[in-house]
A and B are shown apart, each in its own frame.
Chain A
Amino acid sequence: MSEQTYEPKIVAFLCKWCSSAGSDLAGVSRIQYPANATPIQVPCSGSVSPMYILSALKKGADGVLVSGCHIGDCHYLEGNYLARRKLHLVKELLQFVGIEENRFRMSWVSAAEGAKFAEVVKEFVDDLRPMGPQEKLKAKRA
C-alpha cells in the first residue's frame, strides 16, 4: 500500500451510555470527521477487557480507541473508575514492549459532546497517519 492511499484503521470501543450516544450526536449534528473509526458498542468502558485491545491490534487495527463516560457519570457508578485503572496498565504494557504510545488512546466523551468525539477521532487519525500501518502485533497469515 502506498503512502498516499494509506488510511489508518481504528477500532473504537464506545460505551453505550455516553460515547456511543456522543458519536451519534456528532452524526446527527453533521459534524465532519474522518471515517476511519469502526465503532463497537460496549455496555461500559469498564467492560473493555485488555484482550479486546490486544485482539484488535492482532487483527490489524492501526489504533484502538476506548471511550466512556466522564469520571463520576458512569451508568454503573464505578465502571469507568475500573476502566481507568485497568487500561492504564494496558497502556503501560504496550509501551513497555515497544508499541508506539499513540496506537492506544482513551477518552471520556459524554452523550452531549458530539463535537468532542469528532475532535478525538480527528486527532487520533492525525497522529496515526504519519506512523504508517501497525505491523508489530499484526498476525501474519498466508
Chain B
Amino acid sequence: MINVQDIRDTARDLLAKGEVRAVIGWRAGSRGMAAEPCVVTKPEEADSLVWDPTCYHNLALQLVNDRKDLVHSKKTATAPIGIVAKGCDARAIVVLLQEHYFKREDVYIIGVSCENSGVLDERKVKAQVGGFAPSAAAFDGDNFSVKTAKGDKKLAGREVMADRCLECRTPFPKENNTAFGDDKTGREFDAQFAALARFEANDEAARWEFWQRQFDRCIRCFACRSVCPMCFCDECVVDSIEMKIAPETTAEEKANRIRWIERSAVRSENATYHMTRALHLAGRCVDCGECERVCPVNIPLRLLNTKMEREAREAFGFDPGASIGGPSLVASFRDDDPGEFIR
C-alpha cells in the first residue's frame, strides 16, 4: 500500500528545492468520485495531490501539453517537470522519450505502483452499488472501498477493476526517478488479449457486422484522439486545418485540398478514421485504455489497439513502451519479418 503522504512529501521537497518547476499529478475532482489531473507549482499546494483508484487519467497527456505550451510560447524550461506516473503512464512516457518528444532529463518521474490493484471502471461500480453514485473511493488491500449515500461499501477488486487493469502485466513504472509501492510486474488477473481472442473467433461476416455497428455509432467527437498522449500532432490527418487561405486562393484550390478523411460522421469516414488511428498507434499504444474510457458511445476501441499490439508482438517481437533506446515499430525491420502474404 502506498501512503499518499509520501507522494505529497516528495512533490513538496522537489518544488521547495527548485528541482522541478511543477508536479503533474491527480487531485480530488469535482465530478463524483473521480480524481482529476492537476499541475502543482507551489510547495504548499502539494497536499492537494491524491492517489486512489479513481486516478484514471494518463498523465503523460499533461506532459505532452506542457511541452506544446513551451514550444508554442518559445520558452525554455528552467527546471524539469515532475510527474506522478502509474505503470501505464510511465510506459507512455517511455514511448514519448523513444520518439524524442522531450529529453529524459526534462522530466522527473515519481512512480506509483498499482501493485495488485488498478483503477476502477465507473460503469462496473455503478452496476455494483445500484443507483447510489459513490462520492469517494479508496484502495482496500487488493479490493476497493467506496463511500455512497447509503454508507460505505466494499467492492471485490476483480469485479469493478477496469478491463485494461485486469489485463495489465506491468503495474509498476519501471522508468522512474523515485517510486513508491511494490513491484508486481508479471501479475496476471486476466489472460492478456483474452477479449481479443474471443472476438477473433467470429467469422468475417460477424466481425464486419459488429464493427459496422460500432462505426455507425461514432459521433466523431474526437475524445479518443484528445485524450491520447500519443496523438500529439498539431495537425491531424483527419482535419486539415492549416491550409493557408490567401485572397488569391481559388475556390478550386480550396475544394481540392487533400482530405483523406471527411469530417462527417458517416460509416465510411468513421471506419477510415478509427482504422487510421489504430495504424498510427501501432507499436506506440501502451494500452492505457483512456480512449475507450472517454468514448461517449462506448466503442470498444481497445480491441483495435490491442489487435495491433498483439500483431506487433507476435509477428515482429515488438513490445511498446519497454525501452527508451529501441527503434520504433514501423521505422525498423528484421530480415525474417513475415512476408508469406506477398505474392
Contacts and interface: CB of A to CB of B under 8 A. Distances in A.
Contacts, number: 107
Chain A, interface size category, equals 35 or more
B271 A137 contact: yes
A129 interface: no
Interface stretch (B114-122, B172-180, B331-339): B331-339
B337 A85 contact: yes
Nearest to B340: A88
A88 B276 CA distance: 14
Nearest to A138: B268
B271 A106 contact: no
Contacts of B330: 82, 85-86, 89
Nearest to A57: B272
A106 B341 contact: yes
Interface stretch (B2-10, B105-113, B204-212): B204-212
Contact of B276 (A51, A92, A108): A51
B271 A90 contact: no
Contacts of A138: 268
A95 B341 CA distance: 13
B131 to A, nearest CB: 37
A101 to B, nearest CB: 8
Interface string B313-333: 001100000000000011111
A136 to B, nearest CB: 6
B307 interface: yes
The listed residue with most A CB atoms (<10 A of its CB), out of B211, B279, B304, B342, is B342
Contact of B337 (A84, A97, A137): A84
A126 to B, nearest CB: 13
A130 interface: no
Interface of A: 50-51, 54-55, 58, 71, 78, 81-82, 84-86, 88-101, 105-108, 120, 123, 136-140
Given A105-B343, A136-B212, 4 more contacts: A84-B338, A90-B279, A97-B271, A98-B211
Query: Which 7 pairs show the lowest CB-CB distances between chains A and B?
Result: A98-B208, A98-B207, A81-B333, A107-B343, A139-B268, A97-B211, A106-B342
Interface of B: 200, 204-212, 237, 260-262, 266-269, 271-272, 275-276, 278-279, 282, 304, 307-308, 311-312, 315-316, 329-333, 335, 337-339, 341-343
20 contacts: A55-B272, A58-B272, A82-B330, A85-B332, A85-B337, A86-B330, A88-B311, A89-B311, A90-B279, A92-B311, A93-B307, A97-B271, A98-B204, A98-B209, A98-B210, A106-B342, A136-B271, A139-B262, A140-B266, A140-B267
